[in-house]
Amino acid sequence: MFSTVSSAIPEKSLSNEDLSKIVETSDEWIKTRTGISNRRITNEKNGLVYLACEAANKALKKQEIDPNTIDLIILASSTPDDLFGSAGEIQYKIGATNAAAFDITAACSGFAISLITATQFINNGIYNTVLVIGADVLSKWVNWSDRATCILFGDAAGAVVLQKTQKNFLLSSTIQTDGNQNKQLVLKSRSKVVNEQFGIYNREYQYVEMNGREVYKFAVSKLPQAITECLVKAKINIDDIDWLLLHQANQRILTAIGDKLGISSSKIINNLENYGNTSAASIPLALDEYVSKGQIKKGNKIILAGFGAGFTWSVIVMTW
C-alpha cells in the first residue's frame, strides 16, 4: 500500500558548536544527553509550506504519480504557516486539484496518527490514493534563550503516498492520549488586551515549554506497553520485527525503549544526530533515509511509533 516516500530539509544547518554561541551549553552536554549534533533550520522565505511541497513533489516524482490522481492530502503539522491549516495551500501548490485536504495537529504523534487516518479512508473504499505529509518548523517556535528546549528541535518535512492494493500493510495500530499530562509539553497562546472597555482580547502564541524529565519518563513508560499490545494484536513477536522506527526525539529515549522491548540495537532506526527532533517530520524523514539506502526492504516488518505533546502516543505495526 506504501507507494513512495520522500523528504526535504532546509539548507541551513545549526551545529551544537553554533548553539554554544547563543546559549550556555556545549557540544558535549548536548551529545551525551540527547545524541544530537546538528539540526536544520528554515530561513524566512522558505517556511513550512515550501518544505512540505518539496517533500511531496519529490515523492510523487519518484513513482511518476500524477498529482491529479491524489484523492486526499493529510498534513500532519503543529507549526503550519496558517493557523487555519496549510494543507489547502499545499494542494494548490503541488497541483493536486482533485484532492480534499486537511491538517492534523498532534505534535510528534501527528505522522503516525495521519497514517492511521489515511488507512481508514482507503480501507473503507472512499479514497484510492492518499498523500500524507509530516512537516514541522519548530525552530520558529522555540525560545532561543531557553537552553533546555532550543537545542532539541530542527525543521524538516517527509511525505508518503498510500495507494489501495489487495493487501493491507497495517497489521495493528493504536492511538492513546493522557490529557492530564498535557502541561508537560506545550506551545500555548496567551491573551492580549485589545480593548478593556468592551472586553475584547486577541490571542498570541508563545514558545515551546517543556518539563524534559517528565516527557522522558512518559515516553519510556508508555511506548513499550503500547508497542507490546500492538504486537499481540498483530499476532507477532518482537523477534519477527525487522525495524523499530520511533519518533526521533532523543537517543537515550530510543535506547531505553529498545532495551525494554528486548530488540537488538541494530534494528533501531536512528538519524537524529543530524537533524534533532523534527516533530511530525521525524518518522518519514528517517523512513526515507533507510529506504533510500536499501536497508528497509520490501516485506520488512516495522514498528512505527510517534509520541509527544498531548500527551499522545501512537503505534503502528506494519509491513513495508
Question: How many Å apart are CA 113 and CA 107, to the nearest integer?
Answer: 10
Please identify every residue annotated as catalytic: 108, 247, 277
- List the one residue out of 83, 59, 37, 275 whose CA is nearest residue 73: 59
Q: What CA dihedral angle connects 94, 115, 13 and 212, to 10 degrees?
A: 150
Q: What CA dihedral angle connects 81, 104, 281 and 161, to 10 degrees?
A: -110
Between 214 and 242, name the residue whose CB sits nearer to ligand COA. 214
- Choose which of 110, 158, 308, 310 interacts with ligand COA (CB under 6 A): 308
- Choose which of 9, 75, 115, 215 interacts with ligand COA (CB under 6 A): 215
- Compute the least distance from the CB of residue 24 to ligand COA, in Å: 6
Q: Which x/- pattern over 240-259 shows residues binding ligand COA (rule: CB under 6 A)?
A: ---------xx--x------
Choose the binding region for ligand COA from 4-12, 207-215, 258-266, 288-296 (rule: CB under 6 A): 207-215
Position 65 contacts ligand COA (CB under 6 A): no
First to last CA, the chain: 8
- State the pairing for strand pair 301-308/243-246: parallel
Position 217 contacts ligand COA (CB under 6 A): no
Choose the binding region for ligand COA from 8-16, 23-31, 57-65, 310-318 (rule: CB under 6 A): 23-31
Amino acid occupying residue 91: Q
- Compute the least distance from the CB of residue 283 to ligand COA, in Å: 12
- Choose which of 3, 4, 16, 34 interacts with ligand COA (CB under 6 A): 34
Which parts of 126-145 interact with ligand COA (CB under 6 A)?
none
Cell numbers at 262, concatenated? 528486548
Which parts of 172-201 interact with ligand COA (CB under 6 A)?
none
Task: State the residue for C-alpha cell 551549553.
Answer: 25
Position 47 contacts ligand COA (CB under 6 A): no
Residue 113 dihedral angles phi and psi, to the nearest 5°? -65, -40
Between 22 and 194, name the residue whose CB sits nearer to ligand COA. 22
**Residue spans of alpha helices (H) in the chain:** 16-19, 27-34, 48-62, 87-93, 110-123, 147-150, 212-234, 251-261, 272-275, 282-292
Cell numbers at 267, concatenated? 534494528
Cell numbers at 153, concatenated? 528541535
CB atoms inside a 10 Å sphere around CB 207? 18
Question: How many Å apart are CA 273 and CA 148, to the nearest integer?
Answer: 17
Position 213 contacts ligand COA (CB under 6 A): yes
- Choose which of 41, 130, 135, 151 interacts with ligand COA (CB under 6 A): 151
Choose the binding region for ligand COA from 5-13, 53-61, 211-219, 310-318 (rule: CB under 6 A): 211-219
Choose the binding region for ligand COA from 87-95, 114-122, 212-220, 260-268 (rule: CB under 6 A): 212-220
- Compute the least distance from the CB of residue 215 to ligand COA, in Å: 4
Question: How many Å apart are CA 282 and CA 301, to the nearest integer?
Answer: 19
Give the largest Cα separation in the chain, rounded: 66
- State the pairing for strand pair 301-308/155-163: unpaired
Q: Which x/- pattern over 276-295 shows residues binding ligand COA (rule: CB under 6 A)?
A: -x------------------
Point out which residues bind ligand COA (CB under 6 A): 25, 29-30, 33-34, 108, 147-148, 151, 210, 212-213, 215-216, 249-250, 253, 277, 308
